[in-house]
Amino acid sequence: MNKIWKKILILSLSVLMLAGLFQTVPSAYAYTAPVSIVRVALYNDTETYESANLQNVSGAGYGYEFGYYTSDRQFVSLGATVTSTNQITMMMDRNMVYNSSSNSYSAGTDGSIVVGCYHIRLDSAYPDYSSARAAADSFSTVNAFVRYEDGSFYVCVGDYISSAEAAAAAPGLGITQTYTIDSGSSYTVTVVASRTDTILFEFDCGTTYSLAVRPIATNGVKSQTYFKRRTYYGDFVYWRNTGGNLRVINYVNVEDYVKGVIPYEMSPSWPIEAQKAGAITARTYVMANLNKHNSLGFDVCNTIDCQVYRGTTGATSTSDSAVDGTAGQYLVYQGSLCETYYYSSNGGATENSENVWTNAVPYLRGIEDPYEAAVADSISSYYWTVTYTGSELASRLRSRGYNCSTIVNFEVVEFTEMGNVYSIRFTDSNGRTFTFSKESARTVLGLRSQRYTVNGQQVTTGSGSVYVNSSTGELGTDLNGAYAIGSGGVGQLPNGDVYAITGTGTVEKVDTSASTSTGGTSGTSDTFVITGSGYGHNVGMSQWGAYSMARYYDKTCVDILTFYYTGAEVVTSN
């Protein structure tokens, strides 16, 4: 073998070994998701209900199973099933009246369908649901039902709107054992067949456990259930720990949860790799935010406060396959779940978390984003301009509690290394200044992004280019009120010795004698033109950037996520 061939062989072997090395080296950090079921509030985190309907729409399935969830999220069936109806209503244990126009029950007794909260409760407990159910079924003249209370099964007979009415009825019912008149309680949840006064079940374990309802699905079909005109996978828990209205909480497998998030995070028409990136961030978010709303009995709400979640309603085959294709995958940094912040678009560069909020998060670093620009034409209002007069700015600031007179100057006083706004300053006609930094440089005026300039003021990113402009955004002939970038950052050109190159190439002194500026900046202008790009807070992933990477640059979901989350990696939960 000659030398050349030896070299080629060695080279080939090295490449093979390297390839093998990269294939066999696992992630340095393993991750195991602590739960598989997440708790999501329906309809949102502040809404509770006097009554709540469910309709089982699962394939060939029929009815419901009752039980409760333990603190480690295991469903405990009480053996209680209802197969006589697919439509049930959970309600407070009070005298409740049905209103047909709203198809709901509310507290009261004035109506034709009234569910009384006074029952004749037989004193002896039954060992299981079926024996209690058999005892209840022995009553032929009145509806009797099973009540699960603090670990025991009881039989309750009838529903009456007062203790006296129940006591008066009891002797005629053929009851052979001792009983107690049971009145409504703060924690009991009553289940009825919808639109009737037929009680199917009652549950009261104080604040220890809440009623869980599991829709029955047969033939291997996964259950889907209507609640408030949307359909959901999973089970439903009725939380009444504060003794008032019911809170409806969907206990749903995390993968099914993500399927209910993706269609509201990204258009179902977006490329699959972008949607997969969205699926991984949504899955990571919920796992990183378990117990966020624990004091209310759930993990996450279904609004933008957490993530918009609407069950199976908006899912498509593409959005579902984005979730299935990334099942169990999470974004981690050194083994810990990332906070997967994202936004619509960044306008050209993302930003360090500490330059927008407070904490410097190692994987939330500012990076220049070359991808968005390729799809800028597809993004509505990607480039934006708003104009304010000095008095409009003043009234905006006053509406936020700042005592100021007409604003005579508004400028960016500091840009970040990425060219986003770090700090802005308003000066009013009395010389008072008002400075806003980080996120408030965007929110104080309700701007679309933190990436903008005022009156053409400019700082470019990294290239060191010098930019000179006037207060109106156009270069004036005499450079009055002009700005330039010097070694100390952006500043106003001094009156006096400013030189410029003319159109014929000669260097001449600029006449700035007409300048009105004395430490102010925008001169006499009463109008402030704010020109920016992007929409959002710029921390983490750009959704439009993800779209562009997947659509035009052949990037995978892992490429997208590791681009926007510096040093993070995608791992599959063990």
Site string for Zn ion, 323-362 (x = CB under 5 A): ----------------------------------------
Closest CA to 298 of 572, 48, 105: 48
> Radius of gyration of the chain from Cα atoms?
33
> Which residues sit opposite 485 in a β-bridge?
490
- 45 vs 65 by CB, closer to Zn ion: 45
Q: Which stretch binds Zn ion (CB under 5 A): 202-210, 297-305, 334-342, 496-504?
A: 297-305
- 308 vs 367 by CB, closer to Zn ion: 308
What is the torsion angle, in degrees rounded to the nearest 10, for the CA atoms of residue 523, residue 524, residue 526 and residue 530? -20
CA distance 136 to 145: 6
* Minimal distance, residue 293 CB to Zn ion, in Å: 6
Site string for Zn ion, 494-533 (x = CB under 5 A): ----------------------------------------
Q: Which stretch binds Zn ion (CB under 5 A): 213-221, 298-306, 366-374, 481-489?
A: 298-306
CB count in 10 Å sphere of residue 560: 28
C-alpha distances in Å from residue 432, one per residue of 300, 408, 421, 520: 44, 10, 21, 12
* Minimal distance, residue 291 CB to Zn ion, in Å: 11
Q: Quickly list H helices, 472-552.
A: 543-552
Q: Token pair 């002194």 is at which residue?
A: 509
301 binds Zn ion (CB under 5 A): yes
Q: Note whether 564 and 391 are within 8 A (CB).
A: no
Q: Which stretch binds Zn ion (CB under 5 A): 47-55, 99-107, 295-303, 547-555?
A: 295-303
Pairing of strands 118-122, 179-182: antiparallel
CA distance 321 to 324: 5
- 301 vs 404 by CB, closer to Zn ion: 301
Q: Which stretch binds Zn ion (CB under 5 A): 21-29, 299-307, 347-355, 440-448?
A: 299-307
- 305 vs 511 by CB, closer to Zn ion: 305
> Which residues sit opposite 51 in a β-bridge?
91
* Minimal distance, residue 403 CB to Zn ion, in Å: 35
287 binds Zn ion (CB under 5 A): no
- 90 vs 296 by CB, closer to Zn ion: 296
Number of residues that bind Zn ion (CB under 5 A): 3
Q: Which two tokens stand for residue 357?
A: 């909020």
Q: Token pair 């020109």 is at which residue?
A: 531
- 301 vs 441 by CB, closer to Zn ion: 301
- 47 vs 417 by CB, closer to Zn ion: 47
Closest CA to 257 of 281, 283, 278: 283
C-alpha distances in Å from residue 343, one per residue of 43, 347, 536, 549: 24, 11, 5, 15
* Minimal distance, residue 336 CB to Zn ion, in Å: 21
Q: What residue type is 337 in one-letter code? A: L
554 binds Zn ion (CB under 5 A): no
- 92 vs 306 by CB, closer to Zn ion: 306
C-alpha distances in Å from residue 487, one per residue of 17, 289, 464: 50, 44, 10
Identify the residue among 306, 361, 393, 541 touching Zn ion (CB under 5 A): 306
CA distance 368 to 365: 10
Closest CA to 421 of 397, 445, 395, 396: 445
- 41 vs 115 by CB, closer to Zn ion: 41
- 2 vs 295 by CB, closer to Zn ion: 295
Identify the residue among 123, 150, 305, 324 touching Zn ion (CB under 5 A): 305
* Minimal distance, residue 297 CB to Zn ion, in Å: 13
Q: Which stretch binds Zn ion (CB under 5 A): 11-19, 270-278, 306-314, 402-410?
A: 306-314
Q: Which residues bind Zn ion (CB under 5 A)?
A: 301, 305-306
